[in-house]
Amino acid sequence: MREIALIYLDRSGGLQKFVHDCKQYNDSKQSCAVYRFIISVNPSDIAELDAVLGNYILHNPIQAAQIFQSVCFIAIKTLSLIEQLQTEAQVSVLLKPTHLPPLPSYILSLSAAPLIYTTQRFYMSEGIAIAMGTVTKYTQGARFLCTEETCPFSEGFSYIRVHLPGATESATVRSDFTCHLCSSPLQEDMKYRVLGDKQIVEMIDAEVLNALKGYCTDKSQFRIQTFTVFLR
């Protein structure tokens, strides 16, 4: 699947954009804990190249991103695109689909019951924003070092924490991480923390408009429930 991913990036122009993004990182001469890349993917085009990879992107996007992560890391090291990069864990890839199949199973409807959205795959959702918070910072990635000086992991980039979709802030940065080799506490190297912007939006399902217009047949069973969206 890595070969198919590389072929798709080459044909879609994504590889050229990736090289341009790498050049910007390389020109900055600043070593980062995480180098983040947003890759646009067309599920239909990928499915024509390889149905397995296309299905993987639609239904297992986090695992699919790891395939592109491996491809990007190999490209960086082979072409010497980022001199400061040391390990594959420092490459963070976010897959951004251009569209989703126009099928009911890909539409997130919070007005439907029971809710069966238990997978971490892509969904489309339509709603009305009723409140927006201010833009704040969150940790996209961080570097940790073992506090035991004799441990091999007391230096280098062996412990990299990267924010994943759906994870809380404490999953990326907190003080109780331990070394897998010697069980000593890990300490964050603050010089390498990578920050990003986030905004919280309170939304309500678009179906509520029908109820407000008087289309609800049984008002005793009607309830308005908002949901929170994190924009990162």
pTM metric for this prediction: 0.85
pLDDT score recorded for residue 29: 77
DSSP lists the bridge partners of residue 24 as none
Which of 16-25, 107-116, 120-129 shows the lowest mean pLDDT across its residues?
107-116
User: 217 vs 72, which has greater pLDDT?
Assistant: 72
Cα–Cα distance measured from residue 56 to residue 210, given in angstroms and rounded to the nearest whole number: 36
Q: Where are the beta strands (DSSP E) in the chain?
A: 35-41, 91-97, 127-132, 136-146, 159-162, 186-188, 194-205, 226-231
Q: Domain-by-domain residue ranges, the chain?
A: 1-99, 137-196
Overall residue count recorded for the chain in this entry = 232
Reported confidence tier of residue 166, pLDDT bands at 50, 70, 90: confident
Q: Are 93 and 68 in contact (CB under 8 A)?
A: yes
Instruction: Produce one character per residue of 29-55: b if its CB has 16 or more CB atoms within 10 Å, e if not.
Output: eebbbbbbbebebbbeebbeebeebbe
Tens digit of each residue's pLDDT (9 = 90 or more) over 87-104: 999 999 999 999 999 888
pLDDT score recorded for residue 136: 95
Distances (CA, A) of 213 to 112, 209, 217: 19, 6, 11
Is the CATH number of domain 1-99 3.30.70? Answer: no
User: What mean pLDDT comes out for the span 193-222?
Assistant: 78
User: What mean pLDDT comes out for the span 13-36?
Assistant: 91
Roughly what angle, to the nearest 10 degrees, separates helices 61-79 and 2-12?
A: 70
Token representation of residue 29: 């001469």
Cα–Cα distance measured from residue 231 to residue 200, given in angstroms and rounded to the nearest whole number: 6
Which of 5-14, 61-70, 104-113 shows the lowest mean pLDDT across its residues?
104-113
Tens digit of each residue's pLDDT (9 = 90 or more) over 45-60: 999 999 999 999 999 9
